[in-house]
């Protein structure tokens, strides 16, 4: 299928605010197309056990090996430089029979219920750089608060579209773009964009357009402001502010806030949406110890929603299994992190957290086009909790330097009212990462 890219008026208006030619950089495009190129290969071995406790539900247990190669060229000489980014990915099934497929790291099985033995994809993007501005068109890895490719499975999610970034001003990064298709992390081909929680049925949106600014010009302070439009579905706006203050004796304080507003637009393919979602966190670090408290709230008759399989849910209580983002959901979390470098074991870290959410499912709209599945007439006092445990070790030196092993365990439980929209689950993940720089 031939994929064409049509820019919306919103994208043209938003990206027009980004200065194309600001202050000249003496080093612009001088490294050369070949001289400035790099090739990185990431090997990822992934085991996932999704243990459902509901009656009649099938457990998902799959194991695979992923290979991710990324090539990035330099730029041709001149005021305007041209370059090319390319990637190739291969996923191999190591285990996952007809009765245990569907954990989400391998493609959904065919008629026999088994995942295929392998799946692969590849793509490239043309890039153009002039002064402090870079334009990319083609297959993209995108990561920002309103559209971020999923990185939590064996292979990453990619998008097809166009992006523009600018670094003209100290401490600022400005960007805009438009994505028309995505390549899911457990499939080979491209598809139209869908959302995580909404039911688009046979309707799909043409594209997502975004623009935003990131600020890091003050020591210890970061802030982001973004706007996006998922055509005929929603307009979404995001703001965050994070501050880290260092006291004496190895003590740090870190307060922060994340806020999303989502409003339906155009044909409103998912129905009426008027959703404000925020999370607040406060972390205290003492040497190798960090304790974090979180409060999160959703105000609206729909859940906080985002691009399917994506990581664009920059909320403090988005956990391994649950996002704690149901309609009118209120949740809190307490988390403890420890860095074993304090005991002479650099590279070893551990984390433990407990989250609890309370939700009144009678407030969800039973007539919602896209979110009626959240309605439960007996769900006034629904609640659920999640416990997450993580241990990670990264080799610090030697021939196996940067080889990492991650163990993750999540347990999510809810009362009978909550189980009308979700299940009791235990989820185990074993991940081995080995990033290699070829040149």
pLDDT tier at 201 (50, 70, 90 boundaries)? Answer: low
Residues 231-288: pLDDT tens digits? 999 999 999 999 999 998 889 999 999 999 999 999 999 999 999 999 999 999 999 9
pLDDT tier at 116 (50, 70, 90 boundaries)? Answer: confident
d(CA 306, CA 146): 8
Both tokens of residue 334? Answer: 């307490």
User: Which is more confident, 201 or 346?
Assistant: 346
Residues 300-310: pLDDT tens digits? 999 999 999 99
pLDDT tier at 99 (50, 70, 90 boundaries)? Answer: low
- CA angle centred on 338, ends 283 and 349, rounded to 5°: 125
Phi-psi domain of 361 (left: phi exceeds 0; alpha: psi -120 through 50; beta: other)? alpha
pTM of this structure: 0.90
Residues 255-269: pLDDT tens digits? 999 999 999 999 999
Per-residue pLDDT at 340 exceeds 60:
yes
d(CA 86, CA 79): 23
pLDDT tier at 109 (50, 70, 90 boundaries)? Answer: low
Instruction: Tell me the CA distances in angstroms from 101 to 65, 119, 269, one per residue in order.
Output: 15, 15, 31
Please state, as a whole number, how many other Cβ atoms lie within 10 Å of the Cβ of residue 21: 13
Coil vs helix vs strand at 108:
coil
Please state, as a whole number, how many other Cβ atoms lie within 10 Å of the Cβ of residue 379: 23
Where do the domains of the chain lie, and which CATH numbers do they carry?
137-437 (2.40.160.10)
Residues present in the chain in total: 439
């Amino acid at each position: 299928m031939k994929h064409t890219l049509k820019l919306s008026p919103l994208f043209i208006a938003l990206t027009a605010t980004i200065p194309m030619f600001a202050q000249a950089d003496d080093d612009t495009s001088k490294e050369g197309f070949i001289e400035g190129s790099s090739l990185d290969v990431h090997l990822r071995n992934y085991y996932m056990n999704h243990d459902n406790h509901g009656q009649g539900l099938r457990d998902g247990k799959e194991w695979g090996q992923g290979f991710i190669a990324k090539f990035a060229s330099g730029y041709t000489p001149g005021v305007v430089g041209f370059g090319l980014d390319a990637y190739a990915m291969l996923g191999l099934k190591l285990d996952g029979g007809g009765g245990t497929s569907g954990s989400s790291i391998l493609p959904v099985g065919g008629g026999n219920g088994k995942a295929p033995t392998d799946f692969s994809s590849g793509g490239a993007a043309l890039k153009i750089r002039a002064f402090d501005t870079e334009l990319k068109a083609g297959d993209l890895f995108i990561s920002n608060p309103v559209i971020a490719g999923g990185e939590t499975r064996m292979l990453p999610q990619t998008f097809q579209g166009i992006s523009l970034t600018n670094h003209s001003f100290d401490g600022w990064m400005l960007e805009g773009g438009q994505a028309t298709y995505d390549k899911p992390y457990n499939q080979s081909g491209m598809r139209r964009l869908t959302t995580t929680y909404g039911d688009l049925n046979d309707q799909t949106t043409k594209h997502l357009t975004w623009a935003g600014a990131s600020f890091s010009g003050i020591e210890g302070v970061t802030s982001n402001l973004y706007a996006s439009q998922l055509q005929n579905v929603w307009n979404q706006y995001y703001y965050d502010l994070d501050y880290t203050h260092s006291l004496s004796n190895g003590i740090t304080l870190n307060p922060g806030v994340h806020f999303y507003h989502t409003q339906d637009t155009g044909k409103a393919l998912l129905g009426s949406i008027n959703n404000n979602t925020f999370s607040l966190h406060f972390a205290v670090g003492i040497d190798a110890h960090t304790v974090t408290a979180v409060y999160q709230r959703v105000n609206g008759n729909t859940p906080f929603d985002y691009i399917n399989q994506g990581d664009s849910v920059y909320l403090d209580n988005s956990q391994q299994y649950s996002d704690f983002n149901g309609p009118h959901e209120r949740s809190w979390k307490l988390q403890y992190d420890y860095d074993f470098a304090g005991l002479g074991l650099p590279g070893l870290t551990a984390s433990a957290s407990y989250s609890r959410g309370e939700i009144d499912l009678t407030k969800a709209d039973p007539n919602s086009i896209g979110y009626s599945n959240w309605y439960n007439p007996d769900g006034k006092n629904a609640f659920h909790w999640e416990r997450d445990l993580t241990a990670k070790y990264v080799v610090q030196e030697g021939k196996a330097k940067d080889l990492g092993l991650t163990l993750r365990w999540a347990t999510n439980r809810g009362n009978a009212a909550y189980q009308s929209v979700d299940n009791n689950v235990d989820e185990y993940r074993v991940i081995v990462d080995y990033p290699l720089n070829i040149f």
